[in-house]
Amino acid sequence: MKKHTKILVTGGSGLVGSAIQWVIHNGVASDEDWVFLSSADADLRNYNETKTIFEEHRPDKVIHTAARVGGVFENSLRMADFVRDNLAIDQNVLRVQKVISCLSTCIFPDKTSYPINEDMLHDGPPHPSNYGYAYAKRMLHISSQAYRQQYGCQFTCVIPTNLYGPNDNYSEGCHFIPGMIKRVAQAKKDSASVMVVPGSGRAQRQFVYSRDLARAMVWALRSYDEPDTFIVSVDADQEVLIKDVVAMVAELSAFEGEIQWDTAKTDGQLRKTADNSKMRALLGDFQFTSLEQGLKETLAWYNANQGHIRG
Ligand code: NDP
């Protein structure tokens, strides 16, 4: 009898991991066996626990999304934790023939030209606020290439831009969209007539719905064997103003108060445009979910899962 391909997803309880679960459960049936791990199954920082869980499941391929992930504040506060945990997790997980891992556009050089593309990843130091996370992630890229060169492993990394979606992390210091969803929900709960948002709203970002990234990663796992990493992002003309995202979240949440901008707070970089032409060459017809639709689904999930929100 033909053996089913066994696929292990690390970080299966996270934003991206749970999106992969959704894509698999809602996609066409395949003869693959999927296993989704969380940190409760094994602490992947620990070599023996990682070895034991891999020996238990004996996967043929891995989608690796487990990582210590956090917003800017968390990253700068716990620099050593981010570098140590991510280096350990990544070195322990690179142990089967094929692994698709996740980098991030926030690990690119701080001083660079835009749009950024895959070739610029190592061209200079990352932003000082997240150098621990960024250098650890860059080493995941280097490790993937080195294992391919020495052992012929099919290790590839994808590079997503800013992500959002169901089952996001809503903890203190979380990413922008979950933070905004939480802020609007609180303003509604307080029947506030004014909601204050940090910054000017003039910054622009390319947001990717987590289930779109999940589809791209599942495609890479099944069909992409090349060493070259690729950026997963909506097109540059889909870059949106932060103030439009806030207005959209407020409208979809039926918040009718006024939005005020606290311009004393930083906007971060005004634009960080990423070039997705490599992905477009590989997956030309890939359809991204519109931001409005993705936010609708994310808010529906948020409202339906009160009491189970992470963070
Ligand atoms: P989440 O924080 O939502 O999830 C992290 C996952 O990793 C969880 O399943 C968590 O398990 C698991 N994990 C963390 N530490 C350990 C550990 N020591 N042992 C085992 N499992 C562990 O992250 P995302 O889904 O957002 O991120 C997925 C990938 O995408 C990461 O590589 C991240 O760097 C990258 N990325 C994320 C972006 C974003 O905007 N979110 C943007 C660009 C890239 P548990 O639930 O049990 O804690």
Give the per-residue SS3 of 161-183. CEEECCCCECCCCCCHHHHHHHH
79-93 and 47-57 helices, crossing angle to 10°: 40
Structural contact between residues 208 and 233, judged by C-beta atoms closer than 8 angstroms: yes
Average pLDDT over every residue of 112-140: 96
Whether 112 has a pLDDT exceeding 70, the answer reads: yes
Whether 48 has a pLDDT exceeding 90, the answer reads: yes
* CA distances for 73 relative to 130, 165, 172, angstroms: 9, 21, 9
Structural contact between residues 210 and 178, judged by C-beta atoms closer than 8 angstroms: no
pTM reported for the whole predicted model? 0.97
14 lines ligand 1 (CB under 6 A): yes
Amino acid 144: pLDDT: 98
266-303 pLDDT, tens digit each: 888 888 999 999 999 999 889 999 999 999 999 999 99
Question: Which value does ipTM take for this structure?
Answer: 0.99
Instruction: Count the alpha carbons within 13 Å of 294 in the hemisphere toward its beta carbon.
Output: 22
16 lines ligand 1 (CB under 6 A): yes
**Atom 1 of ligand 1, residue of closest alpha carbon:** 14
Average pLDDT over every residue of 21-48: 95
- The Å distance, Cα 68 to ligand 1 centre, comes to 6
Report whether CATH 3.40.50.720 matches the domain 5-305. yes
Cα separation, 58 vs 61, in Å, equals: 9
Q: Please, what is the Cα angle at 48 between 47 and 50, to 5 degrees?
A: 65
Q: Which of 116, 126, 130 is nearest to 230 (CA)?
A: 116
pLDDT band of residue 2 (cuts 50, 70, 90) is low
Q: Which of 131, 133, 209, 302 is catalytic?
A: 133
Taking the alpha carbons of 254, 260, 265, 267 in that order, is the dihedral positive or negative?
positive
Counting from 1 in the atom list of ligand 1, the atom nearest the Cα of 66 is: 7
Structural contact between residues 68 and 118, judged by C-beta atoms closer than 8 angstroms: no
